[in-house]
């Protein structure tokens, strides 16, 4: 499975732990990512687009032209700051991708024999109706043996487990 396909699945489907890790890492990486975006990534892109600075790109709602965003703000003008929005969007995507890489590695460390996508997917135990990992053979909540894909519960007589 490709990294970008896993990234897309992570972004769409996440758990509370993954989101908590994302919040902490997002706060920790904020200064680093801010500098990466504003000082390294966006200046070459601005150079390609005729030396424009993304942070000074704006639209004045009254139609009055101002030389810079700070001049429009000093005049008390209402503006749509789409350059700041583009900068924030690039920061968000970089932080999201960094969090994905860290969570993906943590999932590999927890269960090296299992694909990280399988650890994020759940199924419902037919006996206790609790969510369990999709590849579970025995429910960790009620200790019932789960059916495999062929519909068999296992070979031999049923096993009873007592906690």
pTM (2 d.p.): 0.47
- pLDDT score of 35: 79
Average pLDDT over residues 123-129: 86
pLDDT at residue 120 is higher than 70: no
Q: How far is CA 67 from CA 49, 60, 74, in A?
A: 18, 11, 12
CATH architecture of 3-119: Orthogonal Bundle (1.10)
Q: Which of 10, 109, 99, 103 is nearest to 1 (CA)?
A: 10
- At 9 the three-state DSSP class reads helix
Percent helix, strand and coil across the chain, each to the nearest 5: 55, 5, 40
Average pLDDT over residues 78-95: 83
In the DSSP assignment, the letter for residue 93 is H
Average pLDDT over residues 124-146: 85
Between residues 20 and 12, the one the model is more confident about = 20
The residue ranges of every structural domain in the chain are: 3-119, 121-163
Number of residues that this document lists for the chain:
163
- pLDDT score of 160: 66
Contact (CB, 8 A) for 132 and 141: yes
Distance, CA of 77 to CA of 63 (rounded, Å): 10
Mean pLDDT of the chain: 75
- pLDDT score of 163: 62
């Amino acid at each position: 499975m490709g990294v970008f396909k896993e990234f897309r699945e992570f972004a769409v489907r996440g758990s509370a732990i993954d989101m908590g890790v994302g919040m902490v890492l997002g706060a920790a990486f904020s200064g680093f990512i801010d500098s990466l975006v504003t000082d390294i990534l966006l200046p070459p892109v601005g150079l390609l687009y005729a030396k424009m600075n993304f942070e000074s790109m704006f639209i004045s709602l009254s139609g009055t032209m101002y030389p810079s965003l700070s001049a429009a703000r000093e005049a008390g003008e209402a503006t749509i700051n789409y350059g700041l929005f583009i900068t924030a969007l690039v920061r968000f995507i970089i932080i999201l991708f960094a969090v994905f890489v860290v969570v993906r590695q943590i999932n590999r460390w927890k269960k090296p024999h299992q694909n990280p996508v399988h650890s994020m997917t759940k199924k419902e135990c037919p006996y206790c109706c609790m969510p369990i990992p999709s590849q579970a053979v025995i429910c960790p909540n009620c200790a019932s043996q789960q059916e495999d894909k062929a519909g068999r519960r296992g070979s031999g007589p049923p096993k009873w487990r007592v906690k």
